[in-house]
Structure 1
Amino acid sequence: MDQSGVRQRSGLAQGCVIALGMVLAMALAVGATLYFVGRSAFDRLTGGPDPVTVASASLQGLREQNRLSAFAARYVAVVTTSQTRMGFTAQKTMIMPGSVRYEVDLGKLNQRDVIWDPATKKLSIALPPLEVVGPEVDLNNIREYGEGGVLMTLTDSEERLDAANRAAGQKELVRQAREATPMRLARDATRRAVERSFSMPLRATGMDVTVEALFPDERTAQDRERWDVSKSIEQVLRERAEREGAKK
C-alpha cells in the first residue's frame, strides 16, 4: 500500500527578509506622490479654506490614486516534500524567494470616513483594511534539491513533489508576510503616508491641525464614541449646502 507524507519548514532563520532598499524607494516615491496630490488639492481651493474644505479636496486627491502601496518586503520559504511508494522514498526541497506588497484600496475611502473635531482641531481618518498582495515569486532564484532518484525515475513522483512544494512555498511566503512584525511595519508606513497627504495641505494654509489615521481594528472604544458624536466632513458639507440653499 502506497504511503505519502508532506512536511514543510520555513528557512533562513524562520523569518522574513525585509528589502530595506525597496521599502525606502517606495516610501520616497509615495511621499513625493502624496505631496503633489495634496498640493494640487490645495491649489484647487478658492477663497479662504478651512479644515473641512481642505480635507475634502485631499480626500478626492487620494481617491484618484486608487490604491496605495507604501510598503513591500521580500521573504524566503524553504519547504520539503517527501513521498513513499513501492518501498522507495523520494524527497525534494525547494528554496523559494518572493516579494509581497501591502496595500490599501483608497477607492473605498469616502467622506463619511473622515471626521473633523473643531474642539480639539483633530482630523480623523478611518482607513480600509490593509491587504497583502502577492506573493510574486522570484522564479529565477528558485533552488531545488532532491534525493530518491529511483522512485522519481519510475513514477511521476518528481512532478507531484514539485507541485506540492510550489503550493507549500507560496503558502509559506504569505504566512511570513502576515506575521506581526511586517504587518506592523506596513501599517505604520501606510498610516504615515495617509496622514501626510492630509496634514501637508492643511499646514500649507497655516492651520495647526492634528491628523490621525486608524485601521478598523485599531479604533478603541473611546475612538468609536468620539466617531459617533463628531461630524464627518460629509455631514459638515451637507449642512453648509443646506444653509446656503436656505439663504437663496
Structure 2
Amino acid sequence: MDDSRLNPPPDSSQPKAAARPPARAAALPWLLFVVALALAAWLAWSAYGPRPAGDPLATTLTAFEKQNRLTVFSAQVSPVVSNDDEQVFGLIKSRQVAVIPTRVDYAVDLSVMSHDRLTWDPQAKRMDVRLPALQIGRPNLDEGRAQYLREGVWITQGAQARLTKANTQLAERQAAAEAANPVLMGLARAAAKEAVRQNLAIPLQVAGFGAVTVEVRFDGEPAPG
C-alpha cells in the first residue's frame, strides 16, 4: 500500500505563523528600565537636591540686609497754596496761588530688623514678620510743572520771589499732611506687606525650605491668629 495516500504531504499553500513572544515578556525589559531610571532620579535628588540651608531666620535677616531701606509706595499729590505780599506800608499788594505736583515716597527701615521681629513655624512652614512703623519721605516738589496765578497791579521781582518761596514751603507742609491721611497710609502698608512677602518667599525657597507662607504686620497690629 502506498504510504503517501495515508499520510498526505502538508499543504505548502498555508503560510506558517511566525512565533511571537508573549506580551509580558516583551514589556518586561522596558518596565525594568523605567524602574531603574526612577530609582536613579530619586537617588540623585536625595544626594544633590535642594535642602534647607541653615536657619530660616538667618536667611530672612540676610535678605533684609541686602535691602536696608525698602521704598514700597509712591503717592502723587498736588497741593493748592496761596500767599500774600505787601509793600510800601500796605499800599502795594500782590497775591500768588500755586498748584505744585508733588511725589511722596513711603519706605520701611529694614536695618532695624532682628530675630525678635521674626517667628518661624517649621510645621506650617510659616514666617511671621513684624515691621517697624512706615516712614513717609520728604515731599519731592516738581516746581517745573507748577502752575501759578498772580494777582496785583504791580508785582516786583522781589515780591514774586518771596511769594514763590513761601508757597513752596507751604506746599511741602501740606503735601506731608496729605500723605499721612488714612487712605494713602493704608495703601502704602498693603504695598509694603506684599513687597516683603515677595522679597522673603523667594530666598527661603531657594534656600531649600520649599513653599513658605510669609505673614507680615506692622508694630501695633495684632498677631495672626
Using the TM superposition, give the Cα deviation of residue 59 of structure 1 relative to its aligned residue in structure 2, in angstroms.
Answer: 2.0
**After superposition, what is the alpha-carbon deviation per residue over 1:82-134, rounded to whole angstroms, capped at 9, x for unaligned?**
24552443211011111111111111111221112346543211112111112
CA distance in 2, matches of 1:70, 1:105: 11
What are the residue-to-residue correspondences of 1:1-248 with 2, within 5 Å?
48-49=51-52, 53-84=55-86, 85-118=89-122, 121-150=125-154, 152-153=155-156, 156-203=158-205, 205=208, 207=210, 209-218=212-221, 220=222, 223=223
**After superposition, what is the alpha-carbon deviation per residue over 1:46-91, rounded to whole angstroms, capped at 9, x for unaligned?**
98417x7234213212212211112112111110112455244321
Residues 99 and 136, structure 1, Cα contact 8 Å, conserved in 2 = yes
Compare 52-61 and 135-144 and name the one that shifted more.
52-61
Residues 59 and 110, structure 1, Cα contact 8 Å, conserved in 2 = yes
CA distance in 2, matches of 1:98, 1:194: 26
Greater helix proportion: 1
Aligned to 1:15: none
CA distance 1:88–1:143, shift in 2 (3 Å): same
Identity of aligned residues (%): 28
The normalised TM-score by structure 2 is: 0.67
Residues 56 and 120, structure 2, Cα contact 8 Å, conserved in 1 = no
Residues 64 and 107, structure 1, Cα contact 8 Å, conserved in 2 = no
Aligned length: 174
Gaps of 5+ in 1: 1-45, 227-248
Question: Between Structure 1 and Structure 2, whose CA radius of gyration is higher?
Answer: 2
CA distance in 2, matches of 1:95, 1:121: 51
Q: Which amino acid aligns with 1:93?
A: V
The normalised TM-score by structure 1 is: 0.61
Gaps of 5+ in 2: 1-48
